[in-house]
Each structure stands twice: as structure tokens, then as C-alpha cells.
Amino acid sequence: MSRYEVLKHEDTYTLYTLTDAETDSSVTVCPERGAIATGCRLFGTELFYLDRETFLDPEANVRGGNPVLFPICGQLEDGRYEWEGAAYSMRNHGVARNRPWETVSTSADGEASVTVRLRSDEGTRAEYPFDFELLFTFALKDGRLHIRQTYKNLSERPMPYYAGFHPYFKSDSKRIPFRTDATRYLDYNDHVVKPVPADGSIDLNGLKESVALLDARERRIAFPGPDGITIEMSYSDAFKYVVLWQVNGKPFVCVEPWMALTGELNRNDELPMLEAGPSAELELTIGCRRD
């Protein structure tokens, strides 16, 4: 048996499960459901929460796994924005997470990986008037999940975008000690900027809205996961913020790397732009360890 394998199988949708036999790790990706990674089992421990009912319902936003956010993270004011004198409506978190992606290739050579692609079409242009191509490779290697991302602007003018991810991590506690060098966070429940406590613990209990870590210099964060492990995430410099969110009574916390804060396409204060022609190459890595 090879160390790395890619299994294609069916569960309402076509799934690809990446396996690493030496580390007892596996990652499952569903291209049809917005290229979501539904499971991430590293060193024998499943990290992701998944509400299977929402996954199986093609009309529902999947609650769980690791949804892909593009071309925006979060919400827009009244679900609308203006660009070049025209008004558009766009759903929360953009156009990518609710559309089927195309499977480009798989590989078990030195890692287990699947590469998927999303291209703009008439439907995306109705919400977001740009031509684009996203090419993501989900790769499992040495017990770590790497998500290598290529964002291409196929339009003839600069394209605004602030991408991100929305991973749901299993957790029974909502008071989490985060290891980060961020010193402040924005609490969207009262719109107050607050200091991160000295011990790093941010209490999400009872909060309806999210909070956003504001000024981290290092693009990494660590926090307790299930079964006594520590989850570690690292990400490209473009992901300036990490958003924390929970739902009361649900056994998860979301720890979300974002390129800009919610509503940025309405404000245009620090709106990232991708020039026509060049592509942006970004990466997110999820790993874990036992202290």
C-alpha cells in the first residue's frame, strides 16, 4: 500500500478523500459543494465539525467543514454594493461557496492532492462583474493540510477581491486561549475595539456576532482542539485578519483567515485589487500537535 492515496467516491455528491497512511490522516473535499473540505482528520483526530443535513441540502449553506470565501468575506450592507456606477447584489461570503467547481487533477506522488477550478460565468457576473479563474490544490502531506490557491483576473481592468476561509473546528468550549500576537480585536456585538487578554483567552460564549483579531504581525494562530491537541494554522501575508465566530449550543468555533473585514466592498478603505493578467498565489496550512 502506498503512503499517499486519493479515493474518489460518492455520497450524494462526488467526493475525493486524500489519505496519508503513515500519519493516520485524511482530508475529504467536495468540488460540487463549493470546493468545501468536509473533513480534516490529522494524526487520528477529526478537526472539523460538519452539519451533514446542510451538506446534503443543495439549497443550504453548508454549516461546517471549510467553506471557500470569494470574492468577499462576510456581509455587504443590505447585501448590495456599487461598482463603476452600477449596483449589484451579492450573498454573504461571495459566489464561490455555493457553486460547483471542476475537478482538474489528482495526484498521490509525494502527497495526496486534488486540484479544482472555478471560472466565472453568466451567473457569477450577475453578482460580481468580473471574469476570473480560481485554481485550488488541496494537498495532504506529512499530516498537514495545505490549500494552495491561485486567483486569476481574466478581465481587462483591476478586480477587487478579498478572499478567505471559514473553517469550523470541533470544540465544546467557547472560551478559547488563542496563541496569537494580535493585541486588539473588534467585537461586532457592540462595535468596540478591545484588548486581547494577557492569556489570549477570548470568551465567545453567548456572542451572536463575530469578533475580528486586528493587528497580528505573524500570519499564524494556534488554539486547543479536540482530544487534547493543539491546532495550528498558518497563512499567506494577504490574510491580514482572523475572525472568530460561534453559535450557541453548537460544538464548534470558527477561526477564519480573511483578507479584509466584513463590508469592505462598501467602504473601499483597504480594498485589495488584482491587476488584469498577473495571478495571486496564496496558501493556508492546517496542522496539529500534542503538547
Is pLDDT above 80 for 1?
no
Q: Report the alpha-carbon distance of residue 233 to residue 256 in Å, rounded.
A: 10
Using CA atoms of 232, 52, 79, 267 in order, give the dihedral in degrees to the nearest 10: 0
Give pLDDT, residue 290: 87
Is pLDDT above 80 for 291?
no
Q: What kind and span of H or E run contains 231?
A: strand 229-235
Sign of dihedral through CA atoms 183, 186, 187, 192?
positive
pLDDT digits (tens, 9 = 90+) for 56-108: 999 999 999 999 999 999 999 999 999 999 999 999 999 999 999 999 999 99
Average pLDDT value over all residues in the chain: 97
Q: What kind and span of H or E run contains 92?
A: none
Is pLDDT above 80 for 109?
yes
- Residue 145's domain is classified under what CATH number? 2.70.98.10
- In the chain, how many domains are there? 1
| Helix segments in 100-254, DSSP class H | 122-127
CB 15 within 8 A of CB 36: no
Is pLDDT above 80 for 38?
yes
pLDDT digits (tens, 9 = 90+) for 209-263: 999 999 999 999 999 999 999 999 999 999 999 999 999 999 999 999 999 999 9
Half-sphere exposure of 217 (CA within 13 A, CB side): 2
Is pLDDT above 80 for 131?
yes
Average pLDDT for 111-121: 98
In which band, very low, low, confident or very high, does the pLDDT at 183 lie, cut at 50, 70 and 90? very high
Which range marks the domain in which residue 33 is found? 4-290
Closest CA to 166 of 262, 248, 102, 81: 262
Give pLDDT, residue 278: 85
Give pLDDT, residue 277: 87
Give pLDDT, residue 82: 97
Average pLDDT for 142-166: 98
